[in-house]
Amino acid sequence: MDVLSAIKKRSSCRDFKRTQIKNEDLDSLVNATLASPTAINLQDLKINVIQDINLIHDISQECFRLMDAKAKKRMQERNADNIFYNAPTIFVLSSPKTIYSDLNAGIVAQSLCLASESLGLASCIIGMAAPAFAENNPNNLKNRLDMEEDERFCIAIAIGYANSKKLPHELNRNQIREFY
């Protein structure tokens, strides 16, 4: 699949099959993360690849424990009792906090989503995982990912086979300012 088709076809999946992805696909995804650029080529992102269902469950549960009523309601409406929508493979991106760390992670996140699309896999970027790794959460799970003291959660990405998928979002031309 060419890149433009993958960009066009990608949409967030919130209903994954529990079937694990193939090892060769996981290798391709890991390579896609490592091929992504980082500012000044520091390569200071940590790419935590998680297929341990107990660890995925514990991260999700910690987020549900701290979730406000509005977010809980949204999850109920999505019929979701897991913040990763039962995806079998999760990438958690973390980094020492720098002015570029979130941007670096955002680039890797989109690389993962597009690489997934091209492999016939579905993905969803999961910002909601943040409370499970927050500094001000005394029960945070940083140690479960061997995260260093100065390492901060940036973003998570859930990947697997889609049970069902929504359509890509509508494009909004109002976002564009043109100067020709």
Ligand X SMILES: Cc1cc2nc3c(=O)[nH]c(=O)nc-3n(C[C@H](O)[C@H](O)[C@H](O)COP(=O)(O)O)c2cc1C
Site residues (CB under 6 A) for ligand X?
11-12, 14, 124-128, 155, 166, 168-169
Residue owning tokens 């409370």: 131
* Closer by beta carbon to ligand X, 119 or else 158: 158
Residues with Cβ within 8 Å of residue 14, at least 6 apart in sequence:
78, 80, 85, 124, 166
Considering only CA atoms, which of 98, 132, 120, 93 is closest in space to residue 109? 93
Distance CA 146, CA 159 (A): 22
Min CB(78)–ligand X separation in Å? 7
* Closer by beta carbon to ligand X, 120 or else 168: 168
Considering only CA atoms, which of 73, 75, 173 is closest in space to residue 129? 75
Min CB(152)–ligand X separation in Å? 15
* Closer by beta carbon to ligand X, 13 or else 147: 13
What phi and psi, each to the nearest 5 degrees, are found at residue 10? -60, 135
Min CB(74)–ligand X separation in Å? 8
Min CB(18)–ligand X separation in Å? 18
Distance CA 45, CA 158 (A): 18
* Closer by beta carbon to ligand X, 37 or else 168: 168
